[in-house]
Structure 1
């Protein structure tokens, strides 16, 4: 019965593919500074360069897509904000930063409404303020400037952008929050196009340019594959056709239907409708990705199941999915019901365990490990090979 593989970005990274956040930013940043764009000049920016050089042949890029990318990254507000944010290291950090930007933008807009327009309307010549308007908070000022809500001079004096104000009878009477939201959504859609084009240009060519042969039989027994990635790596590398469901959409710059956003709506006094388009669950429902997940197997709860997590951080950002798997396994009536977390080294194992303890709690994880329903296995171990090859259609022999 079902052997189910669940993968995250670490799955692609283990094969040398440049899919990390740092790869994305560093490679795209290099486009502006690089007159001669070739294989080495681009991938030398990748943290996986040694693995890339070892495992893949040199190839050239699609010039048309390169030109589109150059234009898009130069004009996109989200990209221009993120490419200077040096403290972002992972895609989880990136999503958290989107959340940070939205909170700052919307709370600042509310602050303007409450502290300026509650006192009356403004004329054309009354849009300038000292930075004390936002208590000299440099981070808030830079976020507002990055998204053109305000302009700043060299003394950090603030000027409200009249394009985002409601005008009536030659006076400004309010902040146009709807217009700001629509602009942010429009820019996020364009950012998704950049994201799609990056993968089509700098990741997809690797599938047809492998130097070394991957062991295609490694995941031969997997019946279903769910991925949080946007790439068809499992199908392309392990030749497992029609097994994958893309939980957050699939790379395609023509349709641009991928999930990229925040997990939850922040708690504040603003209308929640302004935040909804940025949430993953809204985007999933809107573009109709495979949001059913493990509920696909609800009718087969008497069957044996094995779940393999590979290259997934098991971070709190995906706790709904993780809880769905763990709750499903706990409710199974079968003899074989295991969750196997695949790791590469002891440091990664430690992080994965900490994340699971944070989501599920000490009692649940201890109980599952004690009963051997939860196992941590090294990618190179014999034990993992045994589990992958195990025939779980047969009843467990009791000795």
Structure 2
């Protein structure tokens, strides 16, 4: 039993390791083709990426990426492709900023209010795609893409002076009302020279624990994974498939609502035209890299944060900044291929083991061999 467990762990580790190695090899070839030294580029990335201020930056970036990866992974476990995380977190952050800027409560109430509003908005926006899928058969991919565009249009309409935003005469930027200090989240400052770690990293870690517990230790998680593997089998087992589809989309949207909270509560304290975009699509890559597992998603988020941090420094040292984008794309492609190769290898190995065990049993019991024949 222990041997089998060790083999499963080894196979689980082999895929991401293979993907990262393949990404480094392909990136090295691209650098060589452009006349650049690959080993020097990697040395620059590692030297700069492991500085104390870089580590703080990577942790802060990884917090946001981790939440985006979790939101996407919830849909993936149900065999749903929630490509609308980008629109869900932006609309959620905008509405949370409007509500948070319009009231002033003690911090113990103000911060939870903002977070709950964000989760509710994200859940409702994702729930629309779930309802369209179960009631009209609309693909969640098409629905969430359209909802992304609608969310952008709604934010653009409301984020105007005289509506739900204000024009800053000093910077000419348009933004919502600045959150009162009671709505600011705490920060952790182990080294003042390196900067502060955003306190929302604690919420992200808790979200990962809840994700693991619900999917691995509850009946709901079992039903969710069953529907993702086979809707017909789940229906035969008494699971309400339509309700599970809507529920999983709602939960995915609620987690997506948390994605913009580090930027809102720890950084900008307002929503403006400069609010970060595109994080939802990054979450897709990170969920794939982490194989929808909380620990794997965390590693993927840290890797993405590391690559983001080192890209500018590579450009400063004479390398093309786009090489990091090439590396990220190759990692995602390599992950898909590597996991499939490892999966097929595991199946063949299991089949070979079963064949060997049956052959051994037949040798020890000739009558069983006659029956099998």
| TM value normalised by structure 2 | 0.26
| TM value normalised by structure 1 | 0.25
Higher helix content, 1 or 2: 2
Higher RCO structure, 1 or 2 (CA under 8 Å, sep 6+): 2
